[in-house]
Amino acid sequence: MSLQIAPSVKRRTADKWVEALARHLYPGEIAWAVASTSAMYPPCDGLVITNARLLAFTGRDLSATGPKSGVDADTIHRFDFTAYGSAKTLVVTTRSGQQMSFGSIPDEDVPFISHYLHHLVAAGFPAGMHAAADAQRADAQTRIDAERRAAGERAETARGEAEERAEAQRQAVQQRAHEKQQKALRRDEERAAAAEQKDREQRAAEAERERIEGRRGRVEVFGPRVTKAAWRYLEQHSHADEWPWFVVVSDSMGGVLAAFEDRLMIVKTGSYTSFMAGSLGGGRVTTFPYTEITNIEFNGGIVNGVLEILSPSYQGSAQHDFWRNANKSRNKAADDPYTLSNCLPLGKALYKRALPRLNELQRKIADSKRPNFVVQVPTLPQSGSAGGLAEELRRLADLHAEGVLDVDEFATAKQAAIRKYS
Q: How far apart are CA 43 and CA 285, in angstroms?
A: 108
Instruction: Output the average pLDDT for the chain.
Output: 84
Q: How many CB atoms lie within 10 A of CB 320?
A: 13
Q: Which CATH architecture has domain 4-125?
A: Roll (2.30)
Mean pLDDT over 395-411 rounds to 86
Three-class DSSP category at 288: strand
The string of DSSP letters for 111-176 reads: HHHHHHHHHHHHH-S-GGGHHHHHHHHHHHHHHHHHHHHHHHHHHHHHHHHHHHHHHHHHHHHHHH
Contact assessment for residue 230 and residue 362, using Cβ atoms and an 8 Å cutoff: no
User: Where does the pLDDT of residue 279 fall: very low under 50, low under 70, confident under 90, or very high at 90 and above?
Assistant: low
Q: What is the dihedral of CA 219, 225, 229, 235, to 10 degrees?
A: 0
Q: How high is the pLDDT of residue 331?
A: 41
Burial annotation 178-194 (CB, 10 A radius, 16+ → b, else e): eeeeeeeeeeeeeeeee
Of 302, 309, 348, 342, nearest to 326 by C-alpha is: 302
Sign (positive or negative) of CA dihedral 252, 258, 263, 267: negative
% of the chain exceeding 70 in pLDDT: 87
**Confidence check: pLDDT of 323 > 70:** no
Per-residue pLDDT tens digits for 48-97 = 999 999 999 999 988 888 899 999 999 999 999 988 766 799 999 999 99
Give me the sign of the Cα torsion angle 130, 136, 137, 142: positive
pLDDT at 153: 92
Q: Where are the domains of the chain?
A: 4-125, 147-218, 222-369, 371-422
CA atoms within 13 A on the CB side of 25: 19
Over range 325-330, report the average pLDDT. Answer: 44
Task: Indicate the pLDDT class of residue 36, thresholds 50, 70 and 90.
Answer: very high
